[in-house]
Structure 1
Amino acid sequence: MTDEALLVFRPPREPRPIFAGTAAHRFPELRGPREYLDRLRVHHLDLARRVIEADDGKIYLPDLLVMSMMQRSYGLVEAVIDCVDGYNLAAAAPLLRIQLDTLVRACYVAHHPLTDEVVTAMLEGTEFRRMKDVDGKSLTDARLVELATPHHSWLPPVYKETSGWVHLSVNHLSAAWQVTGDRFNFGLPLRPDVVPGRLWLELLEAMTKATEELFGYVELWESRKGLPLGQARGWPDAEPEPSGG
């Protein structure tokens, strides 16, 4: 724990208009979810400030991990919005998979009785897959997903699907080539008409859900920071109201 820290919060990028030709312009059903995800992006800064200022601004070991998760999440959310705008599925899907990677680790740490030990091990360079859970099992990605599933039942199929976009796979072949009769169609970059609006909507909704549930763990730390075990502060609103669009 320390009272000394140099903290810099830059102003967030202004909400980006929905330009003609972007996915949310082509598919109007994306407009509301995209705008809401962009508000979650900005909310990262508000929530991070609250966490830092809790307990008179003292910095504890879990703060180091929580703030690194928030920094990572902000960048991922910002990038996913840009990727959806530009029909960049090859980047958007792996970015969602990385956000799920953050969520399952936040879930594990939130339910670990000795969070300081996890953070200390990370600071010493120990990867999660080199750590073991209370059952003595290595914390591989698969194990982290298994442990997170009781708390996030929607996560396993999304994790599996997005994992197929991390390494070159049939997903990339299907997106690159389309067959019409005896003709092969290919476009570079990905043609906007190849990916249906439904898929973009599912991606935005999954990124939103993962981000909101990550915020829940951040708020959990905010509510307990610096207090004796079993005590907690009141819980403020977790995220902005959903868009009606």
Structure 2
Amino acid sequence: MTKKIEKEIQKLEFKETQLLDVAKKLNSGKFYPLDFLSNAVINRSLKLVFGFTTLLKDDNFIAASHLVRCHLDNIIRFSACWIVNDPHNFATKVIDGIKIDTLKDKNGKLMKDWYLRNLLNEEYPWITNVYKQSSGYIHFSEKHIYNTIQSADSNKRTMQFSFSKKDNNIDEDLKIEAIHCMAEITEILLEYLNGWNYTKVNSDIIKT
């Protein structure tokens, strides 16, 4: 692992502390149904970020890359809380096991993943691209084929393939891009969580 990647990982790991800080704030006062979802998304995010950084440190980018898509799922589905008429009623339904994609937003639209993703993409134009790129690692695809090819000689019509538990030919920029994606996703999640905490703390002011 290069010094540059190590530095970027440290920046991402700092966001774990920020997630824990907002968790403490959300659980220090009144508790609402939306807090169940908030706690769940914080807990899942901490595990995904830790898993991602651990795998990168162990030179296993292929496994780590899967977690970008999982982390993106956190903000895609959690964002639904902000586009419904009653977030607490919505949260209660999710707690009861009702699937989010069977519920409707305040405009009467079913909140399918693609719908939520497209809405987020309006504010964060990179969302759709990251969704598609990271899905390429979730499903067996051409990305895995290219990652297996170590070298190719078109003149000699030969190829060399690499088989290893660790990275051999993954470009450093690709790893850094993935780290930045995890960081940006976490930052969006923190915005939602801090916004909800502000609403709880200032509920009297907001009502008036």
Given that residues 108 and 148 in structure 1 are in contact (C-alpha distance below 8 angstroms), is that contact kept between their aligned partners in structure 2?
no
Tell me the SS of whatever aligns to 1:180. Answer: strand
- Residue identity matched to 2:72: L
Distance 1:156 1:223 in 2: 29
Among 52, 56, 70, the residue aligned to 1:98: 70
Alignment of 1:82 onto 2:57: no
Partner of 1:187: 163
Question: Do 1:103 and 1:214's aligned partners in 2 also have CA atoms closer than 8 Å?
Answer: yes
Following superposition of structure 1 onto structure 2, how do residues 20-39 of structure 1 map, counting pairs within 5 Å? Answer: 23=1, 27-39=2-14
User: Quick one: distance in 1 between partners of 2:173 and 2:125?
Assistant: 21
The Cα shift of 1:50 comes to: 1.2
Whole-angstrom distance in 2 between the partners of 1:164 and 1:228: 46
Decide whether the 8 Å contact of 2:34 with 2:88 is kept in 1. yes
**For residue 183 of structure 2, what is the amino acid of its counterpart?**
T
May I ask how many residue pairs the two structures share in their alignment? Answer: 203
Residue 229 of structure 1 and its aligned partner are, at CA, apart by 7.5
Deviation, 1:204, is 0.6
- SS of structure 2 residue aligned to 1:137: coil
Secondary structure at the aligned position of 1:164 is classed as helix
Partner residue in 2 for 1:137: 109
Q: Is 1:46 aligned with 2:18?
A: no
How far does residue 231 in structure 1 lie from its aligned partner after superposition?
5.3
The 8 Å contact of residues 94 and 162 in structure 1, kept in 2 or not, is answered as yes
Distance 1:31 1:231, change over 3 A: farther
TM alignment of 1:224-243, pairs within 5 A: 224-225=199-200, 227-228=203-204, 230=206
* Whole-Å separation in 2 of the counterparts to 1:225 and 1:197: 42
Q: Once superposed, what is the RMSD of the aligned Cα atoms?
A: 1.9
For the 8 Å contact 2:102–2:110, the answer to whether it is kept is: yes
Identity of aligned residues (%): 24
C-alpha distance in 1 between matches for 2:19 and 2:55: 19
Q: Which has the higher helix share?
A: 2
Q: How many angstroms apart in 2 are the aligned matches of 1:133 and 1:222? A: 22
Task: Measure how far apart 1:134 and its partner are.
Answer: 3.5
Which residue of the other structure, out of 138, 157, 164, is the alignment partner of 1:166? 138
From the superposition, tell whether residues 229 and 118 of structure 1 become closer, same or farther in structure 2 (CA, over 3 Å): farther
Q: Which residues of structure 1 form unaligned runs of 5+?
A: 1-22, 233-245
